[in-house]
Amino acid sequence: MAALVLVLNAGSSSIKFSVLSAEAKEPLLIAKGQVEGIGAAPRFVARDAEGKTLVDRRWDGAADDPPNDHAEALAVLIDALDSRLGERKIAAIGHRVVHGGPDLAAPVVVDATVMALLEGLVPLAPLHQPHNLAGIRAATAAFPGVPQVACFDTAFHRAKAWVADTFALPPRYYDQGIRRYGFHGLSYEYIASRIAAEDPALGAGRLVVAHLGNGASLCAMANGRCVDTSMGFTALDGVPMGTRCGQIDPGVLIHLMQTEGMDSDALTHMLYHDCGLKGLSGVSQDVREIEAAGTPRAQRALAHFAFRVRREIGALAASLGGLDALVFTAGIGENARALRGQICDGLGVLGVHLDTAANLANAPEISEVGSPVRVLVRGTDEERMIARHTLALLAA
């Protein structure tokens, strides 16, 4: 009987999930979906591996007994899956956890000691970590005795050299854990493994991977290992994102505190929710809606995003000492053809030459034939990466 792995990604008002079967050497997707709008207007959607809808349920007011927290949402999810999994049982549960801190550089089986350590990291990721941990608690209660495995977005970047890991602050702050952690590590790890499987020589080369979605960052890797990344201590750093500003002069924040009386809560809300493409465009954080608006302000927002991503690609190529391939992934990276073109325009100095027709066709390779730097478009799969780690720990 094939073992099943349940992968959970718990956010502030949602639980995304995937169920995978451990077949041969690679986990195979059985179903995926999410319970969203927890505590407000919940909706549960589940689809099979072919994209066929298995469940699409909305709750009609309090009388319909909607899920009000992560534990109740997970109970809804489990009840729906039970009728479809038959005799197959969940052998382990893998969790996406945003922050592993300076010490957790690999997936771990969660116990009381690990949970205490992860609780201590909440101040480093206050908008993500508490919800990740709520998902672990809910799953532990729902599946007593089933191993819970935490996989960290920061872990892939722990291989960086000290010069790429530190800020120019007194050393005591580095010792306290104030470092350039980087995020989206599970996505980068999956892309590294995928490129290595497709083309081992390229996988051993110098890659810049652009994970561009509502959250966006870039990673420089050599021989499949992180050398440098655009995000730093928090997920606010680096390039602009859907609603986050990206890199900003800290003097701006001091100025806002002094002239507008903004406290840490006001700054946090603005920087996480009112900036980035949404703040610049005045339209939305969704690139499709910004492109459709076509206003001068919307066009400037996209131009700024492309400029900052292009600038980061150049900086990361310098960290690598050259570039063999540029890989686009995540929602914007995989789908926003015009914006990819804007990003690549001007990168000829690095050897990036885009094939316009291939880019518009969303081809897997969008660089000109014979271009010194290959430009690829690849889908990422963080859930599969979590399942791989979870099964590897089970086997060990």
What digits encode the pLDDT tens for the residues 103-125? 899 999 999 999 999 999 988 88
Res. 15 pLDDT band, cuts 50 70 90:
confident
114 Cβ neighbours under 8 A, 6+ residues apart: 104, 108, 150
Rounded to 5°, the CA angle 9-14-17 comes to 40
Boundaries of CATH 3.30.420.40 in the chain?
A: 4-95+123-144, 200-377
**Which amino acid, 177?**
G
Tokens of 43: 């909706």
pLDDT for residue 89: 82
pLDDT at 347: 96
Fold of the CATH domain 200-377: Nucleotidyltransferase; domain 5 (3.30.420)
Say which range, 56-65, 66-75, 116-125, has the weakest mean pLDDT.
Answer: 56-65
Degrees, nearest 5: CA angle 109-115-121: 115
Q: 90: pLDDT confidence band, cut at 50, 70 and 90?
A: confident
Does residue 74 contact residue 95 with C-beta atoms inside 8 Å?
A: no
Sheet holding 225-229, edge to edge: 225-229, 216-222, 206-212, 325-329, 374-377
- In percent, the amount of the chain with pLDDT more than 70 equals 96
pLDDT at 78 exceeding the cut of 70: yes
Contacts with 216 (C-beta within 8 Å, 6 or more apart), sequence order:
210, 238, 239, 240, 241, 242, 246, 309, 330, 332
Q: Based on the residue annotation, tell me whether 153 is a catalytic residue of this protein.
A: yes
- Topology of domain 4-95+123-144, per CATH? Nucleotidyltransferase; domain 5 (3.30.420)
- Percentage of the chain with pLDDT > 90? 68
Average pLDDT of the chain is 91
Q: Which residues contact 67 (CB under 8 A, 6 or more apart)?
A: 35, 38, 39, 42, 59, 73, 75, 76
The contacts of residue 80 (CB under 8 Å, 6+ apart) are 44, 46, 54, 55
pLDDT in tens, 268-317: 999 999 999 999 999 999 999 999 999 999 999 999 999 999 999 999 99
- Of the pLDDT bands very low, low, confident and very high (cuts 50, 70, 90), residue 23 is low
206-212 vs 4-10, strand pairing mode: unpaired
Rounded CA-CA distance 348/341 in Å is 12
Per-residue pLDDT band for 236 (boundaries 50, 70, 90) equals: very high
- Rounded Cα gap, residues 81 and 9, in angstroms: 17
Contact call for residues 124 and 99 (beta carbons, < 8 A): yes
Which pLDDT tens digit goes with each residue over 120-139? Answer: 998 888 878 888 998 899 88
| Tokens linked to 314 | 């150049």
CA-to-CA dists, residue 204 to 192, 199, 252, angstroms: 9, 9, 40
Give the pLDDT of residue 37: 82
What's the pLDDT at 204? 97
The model's confidence at residue 62, banded by pLDDT at 50, 70 and 90, is low
Query: pLDDT tier at 55 (50, 70, 90 boundaries)?
Result: confident
Q: CA 249 to CA 39: how far, in whole Å? A: 37
What are 253's two structure tokens? Answer: 């924040």
The answer to whether 3 and 128 are in contact (CB under 8 A) is no
User: How far apart, in whole angstroms, are the C-alpha atoms of residue 52 and residue 136?
Assistant: 28
Cα-based distances in Å from 284 to 20, 270, 338: 34, 15, 17
Whether 63 has a pLDDT exceeding 60, the answer reads: no
Query: Does the reported pTM lie above 0.85?
Result: yes
pLDDT of residue 1 exceeding 60, the answer is no
Catalytic, out of 103, 153, 228, 286: 153
Strand order in the sheet with 108-109: 53-58, 43-48, 26-36, 14-23, 4-10, 90-97, 148-152, 108-109
Reply yes or no on whether the pLDDT at 24 is more than 70. Answer: no
Residue 22's identity, in one-letter code, is A
Q: How far apart are CA 354 and CA 369, in angstroms?
A: 9
Q: Which residue has the higher pLDDT, 131 or 323?
A: 323
Residue 372 burial class via C-beta count within 10 angstroms: exposed 0-12, middle 13-18, buried 19 and up = middle
Instruction: Tell me the average pLDDT across 245-252.
Output: 96
Choose among 197, 202, 194: nearest CA to 222.
202
pLDDT digits (tens, 9 = 90+) for 133-185: 988 998 898 889 999 999 999 999 999 999 999 999 999 999 999 999 999 99
Q: Is residue 375 scored above 90 in pLDDT?
A: yes
